[in-house]
Amino acid sequence: MTRPEIPFSTEDHRWMRRALAVADQALFVSSPNPRVGCVLVRDGRWLAEGSTQRAGGRHAEAQALHEAALEGVDVRGATAYVTLEPCSHTGRTPPCADALIAAGVARVVVALRDPNPKVAGTGIGRLRAAGIQVDVGLFADDALAQNPGFCARMTRGTPWLWLKSASSFDGRTALPDGRSQWITGDAARDDGHRWRARSCMVLTGIGTVLADDPMLDVRAIETPRQPIRAVLDTQFVLGEQARVINGDPVWIFTARPDAGKAARLAARNVRVIALPADAHGGLSLEALMRWLGEHEINEVHVEAGARLQGALVQAGLVDEWVAYLAPCLLGEGQGLAALPSPITGLDQAYRYEFLDVMQLGRDMRLRLREPARWRALVGACGLKTG
């Protein structure tokens, strides 16, 4: 647990919890911006609240001030509870720190300092220079957990990546002939679509596209936006009639781009991106992650076969697993991850930490996190554990 910089009151805890809940409203909409919530309070009374809108729209603080203005609420002397440090630079929108100063708030409670190098404490500094009391660190861990992708992109230059898998409890994702519909039930599949919806990108390999012809979009739940769908296709063999090509944005990563084919696909909203090959002739996964970070991708949801998942694991690029486990045995079949290099001792095992377990219908959802990568992110964001 991260220790806050100062002791906070019971009321502070109450309202920051509310701000975190408000930030959840931005789960499916804010990308590439972080999910932020802001609650305005005076004398223990709620005044207004807001969450981050679509990119180019209002940030949480501006949205809360806008809602207050619509209701004719004077926020002078109020406390603003904000889950991420107010921005101090002009990007798609004006600085939120300036908006809070202009509104006349007396105090700002911040959960997490913004790891964006364009902010990184300058928002807090600007507020304090204007005579506003700023207290930092309340529920910082929770704010980081809401935004691992944004914080990862800002501190290490690459997105947060999780693998989604659905398997029998003996670890089989398909029968030997590749059939896998359906190992898990409706509730697990619907939950999987929620994880698709919160991501910036759903990524798969060409093997999965050739075998299953998936659409990779969000269908089981309502969502205000669809994530970008992407395919790793080293040899650029994707068929032009694949179901994934439906007019919504699709990115194809390849080592062998074909200008004519790329032009035909571009007319159907498909972007073809050339990446270098690795030493084994496949796409460089490290180059892929760097490219995604440079192009404002915060969170990557991978639904792929054992080969790609194993390659990502062995490359050390997996931050998290979202694993659905069905109460059945398949015996011989396809596994979760085909590691390119075999493990010859238990000391070489790839180890994760369980985050939570949830029952969904007859199935279970397990969330696991790679501990070293999480600790590195925590440290990069200036948090201490203990």
Contact 36, 170 (CB under 8 A): no
Going by C-alpha positions, the residue among 314, 312, 317 that lies closest to residue 348 is: 314
Q: Is the pLDDT of residue 355 over 50?
A: yes
Calculate ∠ Cα 201-206-209, nearest 5°. 80
Alpha carbon distance 69, 65 (integer Å): 6
Neighbour-count burial for 292-315, b at 16+ CB within 10 Å, e otherwise: bbeeebbbbbbbbbbbbbbbbbbe
Per residue in 178-226, pLDDT tens? 777 788 999 999 999 999 999 999 999 999 999 899 999 999 999 999 9
Q: Is the peptide bond before 182 cis (omega within 30 degrees of 0)?
A: yes
Q: Is the pLDDT of residue 2 over 60?
A: no
Alpha carbon distance 136, 85 (integer Å): 9
Residue 1's pLDDT is: 45
Query: Which residue type is seen at 181?
Result: Q
Percent share of the chain, pLDDT over 90: 78
Which residues are CB-contacts of 155 (< 8 A; sequence separation ≥ 6)?
Answer: 115, 377, 380, 381
Alpha carbon distance 238, 236 (integer Å): 6
Per residue in 287-318, pLDDT tens? 999 999 999 999 999 999 999 999 999 999 99
Residue 281's pLDDT is: 85
Per residue in 36-48, pLDDT tens? 999 999 999 999 9
Q: What are phi and psi of 8, to 5 degrees?
A: -115, 155
Contact 82, 111 (CB under 8 A): yes
Residue 61 designated active-site: yes
Give the residue-averaged pLDDT of 318-325.
96
Residue 333's pLDDT is: 80
Contact 30, 68 (CB under 8 A): no
Residue 335's pLDDT is: 84
Q: In what order do the strands lie in the sheet with 160-168?
A: 270-274, 250-254, 228-232, 201-205, 299-302, 160-168, 320-326, 363-369, 353-360
Residue 91's pLDDT is: 65
Residue 4's pLDDT is: 52
Contact 274, 295 (CB under 8 A): no
Among candidate residues 11, 49, 61, 67, the one labeled active-site is: 61
Residue 385's pLDDT is: 62
Per residue in 55-104, pLDDT tens? 888 999 999 999 999 999 999 999 999 999 998 866 667 789 999 999 99
DSSP, res 120: T
Q: Taking the CB of residue 383, how many other CB atoms lie within 10 A of it?
A: 19
Contact 162, 301 (CB under 8 A): yes
Residue 141's pLDDT is: 95
Alpha carbon distance 371, 353 (integer Å): 6
Contact 235, 253 (CB under 8 A): no
Longest dimension (CA), the chain: 68
Better-scored residue on pLDDT, 353 or 384 = 353
